[in-house]
């Protein structure tokens, strides 16, 4: 393990200094690298620089999600705050990663290395080229396809136009299929930190599902049909399900809190090492009110977690007015694995949400935090961060088949049913749903009438919470308007009085509107160290608000609702604008529709 991580660090340093228009190594080094399998292996480690680091991946959903409230609005969804002038993702550093891979592919030809070994490493390189282009197409749509290291004399290629999405994505699929068929590694490396054949198939299912549903819901009218891409997603996922030997890990939370991620389910993870000083700041970001974005889940999303019998929580009598303790009872166990819950402890101490700090809406995520507190204020976290896992593959398979209309009861049981069974749900595991959940449809997907697709979308949001899928999921489903949802939080039974929100007999928090209200509440509280939170009943207030719940006595916490009109989503936001710097360098590039000439995210 130690030797492996040091090898990665040294190799990445070697190749990360490459210039766009120069070979990444000298001719002598080139001969040494491409004439031996050990040389190919050494070079291939540099590809892993394309993956996000653990700190970035751990907070990938601290903004730009519909189900979370943050300290401030993201610029991309804050009206008139985003344009080609502050867009990113098209810089020389971004394209340099592609050049590094292409250089390897065109030079990996030495017959001194057996063909099978060469194809293994070429397959790995093509996997990373697909990873790169998938990210570019998701962000920008049409992009130039480049499959070799460009020479400065190739002006037409250097300063050419964007290629069609059809061409680029077909090339991506070809790369992924070559990778899946030629990568020879099938066993996990230390901490599941290397790409295997099964990772290639799993990623193919992810890419194909995105492309198939994006084409379906956006009516792009490209040559390759949505159905073709959906079948590709189904087929790739099926290979992983049947041949990889992977299965669901019994302990859901252990997937996200273990230094050595459970090998049963993990396909690919970002590894850390305390002994080598390779650490990240996930705990710090998810516990600090100021260091991260302070993301809290909002109540409309929390209400989508099912009851243990498999029925909707919103079918429960009085669900609208259940407090923090009651709403956590008899629910999908992933709720307790993702949020600080009544009775949650850290290092033997009760650890309620920090109502006066991070937990402004009451729902404080802890899915990507460990229970040890050492990393809460410094970069000391070493738990692995998931990139690809079997649970996602099951979701990809189920959705791909449902979108084709071919999902059977047996498919449901093997995918959605299995995921829900792990979460402690007992009902509806073996047969597809036939009744639409009216709350889910009305709140999230009013245009979807198929109960199967609705339930798969519910399952995907809950199972993959905070893992980096939601932004792309909503865009491919053409559901961007959800980014404008109001940020409302947990129900409280009253203000200006002490509340025992976890029902353990000790008062936990006072939500007060003025000094007199605080004093009156403190006079009857049985806990001097409870949280004290200033709130306002004014919907225009800049502090935490309380909105009347409709039952005559209770309230919902709310945040930033006075600025709901500043939230924006328009048709052009399904793609990012190409940065103005790239347009200035290459006049042949055309800006994405709606973003021309410095236009902002104005809702149009």
Query: Please, where are the H alpha helices in 405-535?
Result: 409-412, 418-422, 438-443, 451-463, 470-476, 515-524
Neighbours of 424 (CB within 10 A): 15
Residue-level pLDDT at 26: 63
Residue 356 lies in a domain: no
Q: What is the pLDDT of residue 155?
A: 65
- Asked if residue 8 has pLDDT above 80, the reply is no
Instruction: Give per-residue pLDDT as tens, 102-125.
Output: 999 999 999 999 999 999 999 999
State whether residue 397 is helix, strand or coil.
Answer: helix
Q: What residues form DSSP beta bridges with 548?
A: 555
* Domain assignment of residue 163, yes or no: yes
Distance CA 29, CA 35 (A): 10
Residues ≥6 apart with Cβ < 8 Å to 35: 110, 112, 113
The percent of residues above 90 in pLDDT, for the chain, comes to 90
Instruction: Let me know if residue 160 belongs to a domain.
Output: yes
Computed over every residue of the chain, the mean pLDDT equals 94
Domain that holds residue 150: 27-54+90-184
Any residues with CB less than 8 A from the CB of 384 and at least 6 apart, and which? Answer: 54, 191, 192, 258, 259, 260, 261, 266, 269, 270, 271, 272
Dihedral (CA of 482, 486, 490, 491) sign: negative
Contact between 49 and 548 under an 8 Å Cβ cutoff? The reply is no
Are the C-beta atoms of 279 and 271 separated by less than 8 Å?
A: no
pLDDT at 1 > cutoff 60: no
Residue 479 and residue 573 in contact, taking contact as beta carbons nearer than 8 Å = no
How far is residue 371's CA from residue 253's CA, in Å, rounded to a whole number? Answer: 11
Q: Identify which of 224, 174, 223 has the alpha carbon closest to the alpha carbon of residue 200.
A: 174
Cα separation, 153 vs 155, in Å, equals 6
Domain-located, residue 166: yes
**Higher local confidence (pLDDT), 56 or 221:** 56
25 — pLDDT class (breaks 50, 70, 90): low
33-41: Cβ within 8 A, 24+ apart: 34/107, 34/108, 34/109, 34/110, 34/113, 35/110, 35/112, 35/113, 36/112, 36/113, 37/113, 37/114, 37/117, 37/121, 40/108, 40/113, 40/117, 40/118, 40/121, 41/121
Each residue's pLDDT tens digit, 543-566: 999 999 998 889 999 999 998 999
Identify the pLDDT of residue 80.
98
Q: Helices (H), strands (E): how many in the chain?
A: 23, 12
Domain count for the chain: 1
Nearest to 555 by CA among 492, 511, 496: 492
Please tell me the predicted confidence (pLDDT) of residue 54: 97
Structure tokens at 133: 């282009």
Take residue 140 and report the two structure tokens written for it. 């920008």
Residue 495 domain-assigned (yes or no): no
Query: Per residue in 58-79, pLDDT tens?
Result: 999 999 999 999 998 889 999 9
Q: Is the pLDDT reported for residue 218 higher than 80?
A: yes
Closest to 362 (Cα-Cα) out of 388, 389, 327: 327
Q: Is residue 44 one of the residues assigned to a domain?
A: yes
Give the CATH number for residue 155: 1.25.40.890
Residues 6+ apart with CB under 8 A from 219: none
User: Is residue 230 over pLDDT 50?
Assistant: yes
Residue 56: which residues within 8 A CB-CB, separation 6 or more?
A: none
Structure confidence at residue 17 as a pLDDT band (50, 70, 90): very low
pLDDT over 60 (residue 288): yes
Is residue 470, in this structure, part of any structural domain at all? no
Indicate whether 490 belongs to any domain: no
- CA dihedral sign, ordered 335, 415, 461, 243: positive
Q: Which helix (H) or strand (E) holds 231?
A: helix 226-243
CA distances from 163 to 160, 170, 590 (A): 9, 12, 11
């Amino acid at each position: 393990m130690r030797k492996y991580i040091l090898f990665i660090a040294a190799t990445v340093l070697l190749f990360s200094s490459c210039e766009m228009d120069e070979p990444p190594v000298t001719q002598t080094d080139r001969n040494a690298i491409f004439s031996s399998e050990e040389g190919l292996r050494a070079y291939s480690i540099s590809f892993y620089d394309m993956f996000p680091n653990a700190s970035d991946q751990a907070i990938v959903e601290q903004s730009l999600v519909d189900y979370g409230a943050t300290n401030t609005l993201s610029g991309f969804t804050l009206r008139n705050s985003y344009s080609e002038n502050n867009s990113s993702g098209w810089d020389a550093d971004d394209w340099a990663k592609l050049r590094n891979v292409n250089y390897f592919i065109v030079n990996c030809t030495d017959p001194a290395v057996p063909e099978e070994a060469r194809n293994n490493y070429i397959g790995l390189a093509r996997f990373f080229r697909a990873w790169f282009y998938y990210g570019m197409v998701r962000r920008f749509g049409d992009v130039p396809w480049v499959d070799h290291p460009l020479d400065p004399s190739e002006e037409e290629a250097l300063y050419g136009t964007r290629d069609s999405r059809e061409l680029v994505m077909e090339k991506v699929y070809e790369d992924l299929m070559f990778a899946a068929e030629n990568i020879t590694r099938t066993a996990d490396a230390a901490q599941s930190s290397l790409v295997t054949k099964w990772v290639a198939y799993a990623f193919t299912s992810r890419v194909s599902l995105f492309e198939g549903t994006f084409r379906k819901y956006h009516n792009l009218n490209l040559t390759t049909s949505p159905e073709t891409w959906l079948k590709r997603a189904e087929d790739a996922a099926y290979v992983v399900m049947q041949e990889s030997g992977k299965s669901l890990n019994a302990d859901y939370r252990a997937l996200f809190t273990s230094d050595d991620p459970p090998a049963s389910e993990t396909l690919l993870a970002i590894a850390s090492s305390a002994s080598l000083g390779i650490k990240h700041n996930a705990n710090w970001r998810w516990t600090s009110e100021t260091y991260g974005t302070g993301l809290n889940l909002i109540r409309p999303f929390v209400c989508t977690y099912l009851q243990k019998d498999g029925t909707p929580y919103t079918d429960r009598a009085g669900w609208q007015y259940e407090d923090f303790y009651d709403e956590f009872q008899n629910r999908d166990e992933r709720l307790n694995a993702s949020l600080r819950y009544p009775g949650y402890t850290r290092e033997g101490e009760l650890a309620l949400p920090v109502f006066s700090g991070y937990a402004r809406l009451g729902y404080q995520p802890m899915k990507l935090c460990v229970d040890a507190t050492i990393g809460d204020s410094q970069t000391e976290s070493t738990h692995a961060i998931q990139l690809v896992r079997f649970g996602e593959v099951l979701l990809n398979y189920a959705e791909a088949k449902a979108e084709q209309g071919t999902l059977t009861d047996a498919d449901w049981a093997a995918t959605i049913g299995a995921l829900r069974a792990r979460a402690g749900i007992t009902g509806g595991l073996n047969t597809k749903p036939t009744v639409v959940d009216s709350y889910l449809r009305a709140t999230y997907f009013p245009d979807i009438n198929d109960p199967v697709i609705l339930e798969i979308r519910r399952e995907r949001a809950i199972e993959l919470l905070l893992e980096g899928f939601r932004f792309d999921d909503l865009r491919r489903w053409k559901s961007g308007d959800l980014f404008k949802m109001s940020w409302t939080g947990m129900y409280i039974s009253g203000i200006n009085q002490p509340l025992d929100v976890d029902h353990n007999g000790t008062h936990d928090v006072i939500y007060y509107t003025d000094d007199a209200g605080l004093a009156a509440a403190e006079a009857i509280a049985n806990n001097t160290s409870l949280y004290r939170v200033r709130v306002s009943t004014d919907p225009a207030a800049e502090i935490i608000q309380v909105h009347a719940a409709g039952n005559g006595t209770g309230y919902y916490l709310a945040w930033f609702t006075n600025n709901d009109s500043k939230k924006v989503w328009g048709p052009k936001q399904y793609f990012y604008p190409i940065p103005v710097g790239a347009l200035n360098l290459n006049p042949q590039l055309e800006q994405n529709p709606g973003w021309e000439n410095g236009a902002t995210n104005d809702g149009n």
